[in-house]
Amino acid sequence: MDNCIFCKIIKKEIPANKLYEDEHVLAFHDIHPAAPVHFLLIPKLHVDSLADVDDNHQNLLGRMLILAPRLAKEQGCAEGFRTIINTGRIGGQEVFHLHIHIIGGHQRLPGMIHQE
């Protein structure tokens, strides 16, 4: 995907503060962290969003979910963390390359959604 910022990170065309990489996935720190620990876990395969996955992505999604707690622990979130996958416009997705936010820190995270 030529215009995808996360594909550019995968191709090393733009820099990122990486914390994990293997054949299938990449993890890097979010450029605008919402908490002391905030990194993104992405597949190397370009998939627009969680709304676009199918049975072919089963192994990939499984790997990502299994990796998330391991990386969170390595980043200091031994007592818990939050995973978020924003999906589509209503879900607040800004970058249309599937990613899991992994967020944590030293204190309990605030509530998720505030009704206005």
Give the active site residues. 99
CB 80, min distance to ligand AMP, A:
20
Q: Single out the residue of 35, 36, 108, 37 nearest to residue 27, CA to CA.
A: 37
Question: Pick from 12, 32, 108, 114: which binds ligand AMP (CB under 6 A)?
Answer: 32
CB 58, min distance to ligand AMP, A:
22
**Interacting partner of 7 out of Zn ion, ligand AMP, none (Cβ under 5 to 8 A depending on kind):** Zn ion
Residue 86: partners with Cβ closer than 8 Å, 6 or more residues away: 92, 93, 94, 101
Residue 54: partners with Cβ closer than 8 Å, 6 or more residues away: none
Question: Pick from 20, 44, 45, 46: which binds Zn ion (CB under 5 A)?
Answer: 46
Which residues, numbered 78-107, are part of the site for ligand AMP (CB under 6 A)? Answer: 86, 92-95
- Tokens at 85, concatenated: 């996958």
Q: Does 55 engage in binding with ligand AMP (CB under 6 A)?
A: no
- Strands 18-21 and 37-43 come out as unpaired
Residue 56: partners with Cβ closer than 8 Å, 6 or more residues away: none
Q: Does 60 engage in binding with Zn ion (CB under 5 A)?
A: no
Which residues contribute to the site for Zn ion (CB under 5 A)? 1, 4, 6-7, 46, 97
